[in-house]
Amino acid sequence: MPATPRLPLDDLRADCGSCFGLCCVALPFTRSSDFALTKPAGRPCLHLAADHRCGIHANLRDKGFTGCTVYECLGAGQKLSRHTFGGRDWRTHPDLLPAMTAVYPRMRHLHELLWHLHHAARLPDAAPVHAEITETITALDDLTRQDADTLLDADLPALHASAADLLRTASRLTRRRHATRPRDHAHADLTGRDLRRTDLRAADLRGALLIAADLTGADLSHADLLGADLRATLLDGADLSTALFLTQPQLNAARADAATRLPGTLTRPPHWTA
């Protein structure tokens, strides 16, 4: 039976109502096709309202902030706002802003690792490493509940490397069960490629560039999509229902229709066609 980590999956989804708009403050962005203006890290976006909500949330794409619509903190924002900083916001406690700005990307990184490990812990074919995965989830979850100084002192590269080894093993065990010779496109540049109705079952697409590629009707069941760039990727009718390590930001960046099959843990972005 798949392992059941103690960390609820809901803790790894953004709850903007419980956050102090940290992604709109801590993160920098540069004027581009994704952002209508340039903002340095630690400076609030000019559209951030006094209640920590986005003042143009309903019109972000029209206003030139497509980058905001594809972003997802995976629960890092509310963890910092309500736990790490104990409900003290940066407006009433401006002295906390430098620490919040420094810790936020690290918390986001840890939550992304937790999301992927949580997924791996539920892959039946990864049973040989379930115990290690669950132990790692527990250790990382414990770290996310420490104070800001402890989070800043943590050896994030080492933690990432350890988790990445487990994810690679879980992927290999799962994919070899579902395809005898799965395609290897890891880190491949497939930008703009015509991959319509391609059999990509159990393929390794880790870190692949699939920007503006056409995967209409493609079978991506049990394909490893960890870190794949799906910006403007066309996924009409594609089967992603059992894809490995797929995240909400990846879906948010892609294009698809009502026939696209998704994992039950992810939601259909509102900008996709009906």
Q: Are residues 19 and 70 in the same domain?
A: yes
The answer to whether residues 24 and 91 touch, using CB atoms and an 8 Å cutoff, is no
- Neighbour tally for 258: CB within 10 Å: 10
Q: Look at residues 38, 45, 34, 118 and name the one whose alpha carbon lies nearest to residue 75.
A: 118
Q: Are residues 197 and 154 in the same domain?
A: no
Which two structure tokens, joined as six digits, stand for 149?
Answer: 């100084």
Number of domains in the chain: 2
pLDDT in tens, the chain (274 residues): 455 555 567 789 999 999 999 999 999 999 999 999 999 999 999 999 999 999 999 999 999 999 999 999 999 999 999 999 999 999 999 999 999 999 999 999 999 999 999 999 999 999 999 999 999 999 999 999 999 999 999 999 999 999 999 999 999 999 999 987 888 999 999 999 999 999 999 999 999 999 999 999 999 999 999 999 999 999 999 999 999 999 999 999 999 999 999 999 999 998 897 6
Is 3 inside any structural domain?
no
Within 179-271, residue ranges assigned H as helices are 248-253
Q: Are residues 97 and 73 in the same domain?
A: yes
What CATH number does the domain containing 223 carry? 2.160.20.80
- Neighbour tally for 127: CB within 10 Å: 13
Q: Are residues 95 and 204 in the same domain?
A: no
Q: Are residues 248 and 201 in the same domain?
A: yes
**Structural domain range at position 199:** 180-274
Cα dihedral 183, 243, 12, 114 sign: negative
Q: CA 20, CA 91: separation in Å to the nearest integer?
A: 9
Which two structure tokens, joined as six digits, stand for 230?
Answer: 């799906």
Which two structure tokens, joined as six digits, stand for 29?
Answer: 């962005």
Q: Are residues 171 and 257 in the same domain?
A: no
Domain boundary among 141, 175, 209: 175
Q: CA 83, CA 147: separation in Å to the nearest integer?
A: 9
Q: Look at residues 195, 189, 175, 186 and name the one whose alpha carbon lies nearest to residue 235.
A: 195
- Neighbour tally for 107: CB within 10 Å: 25
Q: Are residues 147 and 21 in the same domain?
A: yes
